[in-house]
Amino acid sequence: MRLRFLFLAYVAIEIAAFVAMTMAWGFAWAILITLLAAALGFILLQWQGRKVVTRLRTASGAGADPAAPLADTAVLGASTALLVVPGVVTTALGVLSLLPPTRAALRPLVMAVGARKVAAVVGNAGMFATGTRGRVVDGTVIDADVVESSVVDVTPRGPTATVANMPPHLPQGR
């Protein structure tokens, strides 16, 4: 439902922008502006893409911190997606996000989102590795210290003493 709403909002915004351009400058100019914006975006994408990949390669080869080039690569990918999606508004946003000052402004946000995603993936990988993926145990939590000692079995053995008829030592869970 939410995705459908976002798609309908996108379509409404793109149609409204194109109609506004058509009413202001005419249909032919609106088509020409749309095509020129897309062409400018792809030229800028090629130019900035080479710069970002070169910076990433340089940072990884020199042992420097690759956080900024990685964030720029993520913004470059989002810009590419915005340029590929048809429409004047998405093309303008794609071209705007390709500019170096805009990438520098978006870099902290991209790094924060990336750190959150990596933490979630690492957490899920840990749960998968330990076998606790999705399993919730309901019961009493006992906060205690671990004491190094040997375990002694105090369960009475014999013909009349079974574990089932012994009085409980700990409260039963719900």
- In eight-state DSSP terms, residue 169 is S
Average the pLDDT over each of 8-12, 74-78, 126-130, 164-168 and give the range with the smallest value: 164-168
At residue 139 the predicted structure's pLDDT band, cuts being 50, 70 and 90, is low
> What is the average pLDDT across 144-158?
65
Spatial contact of 121 and 48, defined as CB atoms under 8 Å apart: no
pLDDT at 132: 55
Residue type, 49: G
pLDDT at 12: 95
User: Helices 88-98 and 2-25, interaxial angle, to 10°?
Assistant: 90
When the pLDDT of each residue in the chain is averaged and rounded to a whole number, the result is 80
Distance CA 60, CA 63 (A): 5
Comparing CA positions, the residue from 173, 55, 53, 36 lying closest to residue 95 is 36
Name residue, tokens 């919730």: 136
pTM: 0.61
Comparing CA positions, the residue from 100, 90, 94, 23 lying closest to residue 69 is 100
Higher pLDDT among residues 174 and 29, named by residue = 29
pLDDT at 29: 93
pLDDT at 165 over 80: no
95 HSE (CA, 13 A, CB side): 16
- pLDDT tens digits along 86-132: 889 999 999 899 888 998 999 999 888 888 887 777 766 666 555 55
